[in-house]
Amino acid sequence: MGIFKKFFDKIKYTFKKNELDEDFYDELESVLVSSDMGVETAMDIMDDLRDTCKKKLIKDVDSAQKELRQILISRLNVQEIKFEYPLIITVVGVNGVGKTTSIAKMTKYFIKNKKSVLLAAGDTFRAAATEQLNMWAERLKTKIVKQGEGADSAAVVFDAVASMKAKKTDVLIVDTAGRLHTKTNLMKELEKINNISKREYPEAKHLNLIVLDASIGQNSIAQVKAFKESVNIDGIILTKLDGTSKGGVVYPIINDLKVPVVFTGFGETVDDMEVFNVESFVDKILM
């Protein structure tokens, strides 16, 4: 399945039209709205396209497509995250969004880029979470720091940071619990984890990345807002960008929240993740 296949196919079909008329603009706007982009964002983009084409006296669809490309790129203009090492990534997100699988995919990404990786099983609320992370650690032949079910998550992180420093590991990836229904406890737990990792390794680059399921569309924005009440969110890992996803949700996420997408996950294998690139993303929509 291609990334955002249904969304892409609709846009490509729209741009096969020969005439740049109101029917074209209306149909394109409808496609953007249906992509989980949101009505307001889609209308703003179409207003920009109409104004640009009018000012530049553009009458053909091919030229309009090039202008739309620049508009779509500019709408995703948010400061990209540059990886610096040593790097500690704390991964947050509700249960069911693909958090543990995303950690495995990130691990594979860093290993492919010649970086040593350590995992910390900070979700001690569910025994299955530790077991799943341990399974991935074994498959990827990387180290993991873990304790028993119900252990203090912050203690796991403390041990993991100590091990990272001692072994001069490049990347530490920390799993956390995703229990929004116990918001107060979650807030305290995440704050404690953040404080400990920064206190114990201030020289490291610290990132909090939230995992979002692209297929739930606009609801993902509410998840980011909920977690931002607990901890700073530096970036987003957008999962399930396959044939069932519409993809346009990237726009309101970045525009409304001013938080960059760092990784995109698609498919089921551990290699199905890539660093988000704005121009590549837009080109996949239009080309």
| pLDDT tens sequence across 128-163 | 899 999 999 999 999 999 998 889 999 999 999 999
- Kindly tell me if the per-residue pLDDT of 18 is higher than 80: no
CA proximity to 260, closest of 223, 233, 231: 233
- Kindly tell me if the per-residue pLDDT of 112 is higher than 60: yes
CA end-to-end span of the chain, whole Å?
17
Mean pLDDT across the chain = 88
- Kindly tell me if the per-residue pLDDT of 60 is higher than 50: yes
Task: For residue 65, give both structure tokens.
Answer: 């497509």
Q: How confident is the model at residue 87 (pLDDT cuts 50, 70, 90)?
A: very high
- Kindly tell me if the per-residue pLDDT of 76 is higher than 50: yes
pLDDT for res 206: 98
The rounded percent of the chain whose pLDDT value lies above 70 is 92
pLDDT for res 262: 95
pLDDT for res 207: 97
> What stretches of 214-259 adopt beta strand conformation (E)?
235-239
Residues 230-259: tens digit of each pLDDT: 789 999 998 887 655 567 778 888 887 888
Domains, the chain, ordered by start: 5-75 (1.20.120.140), 87-276 (3.40.50.300)
CB 259, CB 252: distance < 8 Å: no
Q: How confident is the model at residue 2 (pLDDT cuts 50, 70, 90)?
A: very low
- Kindly tell me if the per-residue pLDDT of 122 is higher than 90: yes
Q: Measured between alpha carbons, how far is 287 from 66 in angstroms, rounded to an integer? A: 10
Within a 13 Å sphere around the CA of 135, how many CA atoms are in the beta-carbon half? 9
- Kindly tell me if the per-residue pLDDT of 218 is higher than 80: no
Q: How confident is the model at residue 3 (pLDDT cuts 50, 70, 90)?
A: very low
Q: Measured between alpha carbons, how far is 267 from 279 in angstroms, rounded to an integer? A: 21
> Does 17 or 70 have the greater pLDDT score?
70
Q: How confident is the model at residue 80 (pLDDT cuts 50, 70, 90)?
A: confident
Residues 172-195: tens digit of each pLDDT: 999 998 866 456 677 788 889 999
Overall average pLDDT of the 84-90 stretch: 98
